[in-house]
Amino acid sequence: MKIEVFLTSSIVSEEDVKDRTVVVIDVLRACSTIATALNNGARSIVPVADMAQAGKIASNLDQQSYLLGGERDGLKIEGYHLGNSPLEYTQKMVGGRTVIFNTTNGTVAIDQARPAEHLLIGTFLNAGRVVEFIREAGNDLTIICAGWRNRVSLEDTLCAGLMLYRLWDGVEPESASDTAHIAFTQYDHDREHLTAALQRCNHARWLSSNGHQDDVDYCLQLDALPVLPYYRDSRLILYEDERVEIAS
């Protein structure tokens, strides 16, 4: 299995994802929110790259059937039902409804990965389930870290490193690409004190200082949601109907 890692989504091309299993990672917070919403009964998540596309899709749906969710620069978009906090996406709020979802980084990365053979959403919450699927599929793998406005985010890099560590059973192969080596080595360095390393990430500190420490704590739970958001027919659904309840 050939594995490539992109530490931001800014230079991903169709050739990088076509015929491959692709995992998009945006730990804080888009991918964690997607996994949570689907676990809590959302019918599907429709990821869009911008507000114009979100509005166009919404105009063709029954108003009772969907919610608009997302953020720009970390703040809820004016007029949207929900922001980008996974704690907002409760069963009462999203159960049985489609969420049209639009974020600064995560949904942009998902849009770039659409030509993949298998497109998965990964985060610390469901890392174990993602690795399980990768092993089963056996395809070459591309991991795309959403990052923050074309910059590397440590939390996404560490999540990618965790997945590689598990795929490689803790031993990096000599054939690893440079970026896979970076992600693996950073995780291996920080894994004994992972929570502390994640809490000091730039975006984690920013969220905490803006009143979202509960989001940070939630998103950093490891293997708490064994669900697999899977992209099919322009939307994200659960690959299998396996939902659990976790403490917020």
**Cα separation, 97 vs 38, whole angstroms:** 10
What's the confidence (pLDDT) of residue 245?
53
Phi-psi region of 195 (alpha: psi -120 to 50; beta: other; left: phi over 0): alpha
pLDDT tens track for 117-168 = 999 999 999 999 999 999 999 999 999 999 988 899 999 999 999 999 999 9
Q: What are the phi and psi torsion angles at 214 (to 5°)?
A: -60, -35
Q: What are the phi and psi torsion angles at 116 (to 5°)?
A: -60, 155
What's the confidence (pLDDT) of residue 61?
86
Q: Which residues of the chain have pLDDT under 70?
A: 241-248
What's the confidence (pLDDT) of residue 120?
98
Q: What share of the chain is helix, strand, coil (3-state, %, to 5)?
A: 40, 20, 40
Cis peptide, bond prior to residue 129, ω within 30 of zero: no
3-230 classified as CATH 3.90.870.10:
no
The residues spanned by each domain of the chain are: 3-230
**Cα separation, 174 vs 176, whole angstroms:** 6
**Residue appearing with tokens 């708490």:** 224
What's the confidence (pLDDT) of residue 240?
80
Q: How far is CA 248 from CA 62, 145, 181, 210, 242, in A?
A: 31, 25, 33, 18, 18
Q: How many CB atoms lie within 10 A of CB 189?
A: 12
What's the confidence (pLDDT) of residue 64?
87
Encoded tokens for 117: 């053979």
Q: Cα 133 to the chain's mean position, in Å?
A: 15
Query: What secondary structure letter does DSSP report for 123?
Result: -
Predicted structure pTM score: 0.94
**Cα separation, 71 vs 53, whole angstroms:** 14
Burial pattern 205-235, b for ≥16 Cβ within 10 A else e, equals eebeeeebeebbbbbbbeebbbbbbbbeeeb
What's the confidence (pLDDT) of residue 207?
96
What's the confidence (pLDDT) of residue 218?
98
**Residue appearing with tokens 């990821």:** 47
List strands edge to edge, sheet with 44-48.
Answer: 3-6, 141-145, 21-25, 118-122, 229-232, 235-238, 44-48, 98-102, 66-72, 75-76
Residues in the chain: 248
What's the confidence (pLDDT) of residue 248?
40
